[in-house]
Amino acid sequence: MKAIILCAGLGSRLNSSKPKGFIVINKKSLLERCVNNLISVGLKKKNIYFATGFKKNLVEKKFGKKFNYSFNKYYKVTNMVYTLFNTLKNINDSDVIITYSDIIYDKENLKRLMSKRENISTLVDFKWKKIWIKKNKLLSDSESLKIKKNKIIELGKSTKDIKKIDGRYVGVIKISKDILPKIKDLYWKSMTKNSKKFKKIDMTNFLNFLIKKKYDINYAKLTGNWNEYDDFVDLNFKI
């Protein structure tokens, strides 16, 4: 098993001068929490990749030479999916955990996701409404996630129809080594055909793209508290 931490973004909505992963929650940065979770479930430092962009030197200085680093030099004009596949050039023979760097979640959820045998799985929170109501973001920050026959058939689209939302996409994905070469090939071929779209595509839209291409997206149920840090409302929310 290998892992990729996506940490190339600027964190502009938080007026941050550092990557968002450097946000400190209860005396520990989000990146440190993410790394600790991965190590606690058995990943070795040499199998953890930081997918960097904005101020990559800060990440490298913080975590040192025992980890791997992949720099997206086009981070200003691309999105996290490009950053991901830029990093996946280095990985061919292993299942991969992909995690956002601006989230907090319990390590038990990683174990549950890692145990999934399907080719593509992601963490889903089925009790997300409680958190979003507390943050007063239920209508302003709601995204679709539809499940049918235990598979995700749509996610990430803006909606105000809460009844049609089966759960919340968390931002942690597992891809098996069996399907990884096909997905990498699909992405780079799609880049060749439509580079403007696929340089900028975000993760949920890419997952929707995979669904349209008949790839099954499965899920593991998230338990316990979690939070994402997109703005100051999130930053001030206590989990």
Strands of the chain, DSSP E: 2-7, 24-25, 28-29, 48-52, 68-71, 96-100, 103-104, 120-125, 143-148, 151-158, 168-175, 218-221, 227-228
> What pLDDT digit, counting tens, does each position of 148-169 carry?
999 999 999 988 888 879 999 9
Decide: 6 and 83 in contact? Cβ < 8 Å.
yes
d(CA 87, CA 52): 9
Residue ranges covered by each domain of the chain = 2-235
Residue 166 CA: distances (Å) to CA of 37, 110, 133, 146, 217: 27, 21, 16, 6, 14
Tokens of 171: 């931002």
pLDDT at 209: 97
Decide: 122 and 207 in contact? Cβ < 8 Å.
yes
pLDDT at 232: 84
d(CA 228, CA 171): 9
Tokens of 180: 């990884």
pLDDT at 7 over 90: yes
Among the ranges 7-11, 112-116, 138-142, which has the highest mean pLDDT value? Answer: 112-116
Give residue for tokens 């200085």.
61
Residue that wins the pLDDT comparison between 233 and 1: 1
If you average pLDDT over residues 200-216, what whole number do you get? 97
Question: Which stretches within 168-225 are classed as H helix?
Answer: 180-193, 195-200, 203-212
Tokens of 80: 């996290």
In the DSSP assignment, the letter for residue 6 is E
Residue-averaged pLDDT of the chain: 94
Through-space distance between the first and last CA atoms of the chain, rounded to whole angstroms? 29
> What pLDDT digit, counting tens, does each position of 176-186 carry?
999 999 999 99
pLDDT at 238: 78
d(CA 55, CA 14): 16
Among 29, 70, 74, 26, CA closest to 51: 70
The widest CA-to-CA distance across the chain, in whole angstroms, is 48
Model confidence band, residue 239 (pLDDT cutoffs 50, 70, 90): confident
> What pLDDT digit, counting tens, does each position of 124-144 carry?
999 999 889 989 988 888 899
Percent of the chain residues topping a pLDDT of 90 = 82
pLDDT at 234 over 80: yes
Identify the CATH class of 2-235. Answer: alpha beta
